[in-house]
Amino acid sequence: MINVAIILGSTRPGRNGEAVAKWVYELAGRRSDAKFELVDIRDFNLPLLDEPVPPSMGRYSKEHTKAWAARIAPFDAFVFVTPEYNHGTCGALKNAIDFLYAEWNNKAAGFVSYGSAGGVRAVEQLRLVMGELQVADVRAQVMLSLRDDFENYSKFKPQAHHEKSLNTMLDQVIAWGTALKTVRQK
């Protein structure tokens, strides 16, 4: 069975992302075809990228980078939970992604996004980033509307149909995450 990290990207106080990530984790936990863990990037207190050598060189010097790398390295696949900020993902998530390189390579990823337009623009940006990191991003995604899935834009109440989308996305993440294990073992 593969290990999948559900990565909570938003770090701000009062973030909607926390309820979304917990919902993903709760529904994913009902499956028996992968193991899931919730990873909150806020727990790592990452500063803005402060490594002198580009992460693709794999020479991490700071303790916070090493801790973050150690958390991400064991996973086979990722589900990024992202808000949309100014038509992109949030800076905290992009920064946390930029900190590492090899820990992301040859793995799979899916997305759960939220925003006034379902966070789709944030995910389109993230897909470009995934290409550079050699992450295989799956087609299915969960797009949550601030208007229709959050009461008063703040209390998370997802419409029932999102559960099916979530499981379709997870099916794809698990399939590709499993397949790519063979690439990493070579």
Residues 32-61 close enough to bind ligand FMN by CB under 6 A: none
Cα–Cα dist 5/38, whole Å: 6
Tokens 């580009």 correspond to: 54
Q: How far is the CB of 98 from ligand FMN (least distance, A)?
A: 19
Query: Does residue 84 interact with ligand FMN by CB under 6 A?
Result: yes
Stretch binding ligand FMN (CB under 6 A), from 34-42, 61-69, 83-91, 133-141: 83-91
What SS3 class is residue 148? coil
Q: Are the CB atoms for 123 and 113 separated by under 8 Å?
A: yes
HSE of 130 in the Cβ direction (CA atoms, 13 Å)? 22
Stretch binding ligand FMN (CB under 6 A), from 22-30, 98-106, 112-120, 127-135: 112-120
Query: Does residue 17 interact with ligand FMN by CB under 6 A?
Result: yes
Pairing of strands 34-40, 77-83: unpaired
Cα–Cα dist 14/53, whole Å: 34
Nearer to ligand FMN, 85 or 111 (CB): 85
Query: Does residue 83 interact with ligand FMN by CB under 6 A?
Result: yes
Q: How far is the CB of 94 from ligand FMN (least distance, A)?
A: 13
Q: How far is the CB of 36 from ligand FMN (least distance, A)?
A: 20
Query: Does residue 120 interact with ligand FMN by CB under 6 A?
Result: no
Query: Does residue 10 interact with ligand FMN by CB under 6 A?
Result: yes
Phi and psi, residue 118, nearest 5°: 75, 10
Nearer to ligand FMN, 107 or 162 (CB): 162
Burial environment of residue 40 by CB neighbours within 10 A (0 to 12, 13 to 18, 19 or more): middle
Q: Total residues at the site for ligand FMN (CB under 6 A)?
A: 14
Tokens 């149909």 correspond to: 161
Of residues 30, 63, 86, 128, which one binds ligand FMN by CB under 6 A? 86
Q: Are the CB atoms for 120 and 150 separated by under 8 Å?
A: no
Write out the residues near ligand FMN by the rule CB under 6 A: 10, 12, 15-17, 83-87, 115-117, 146
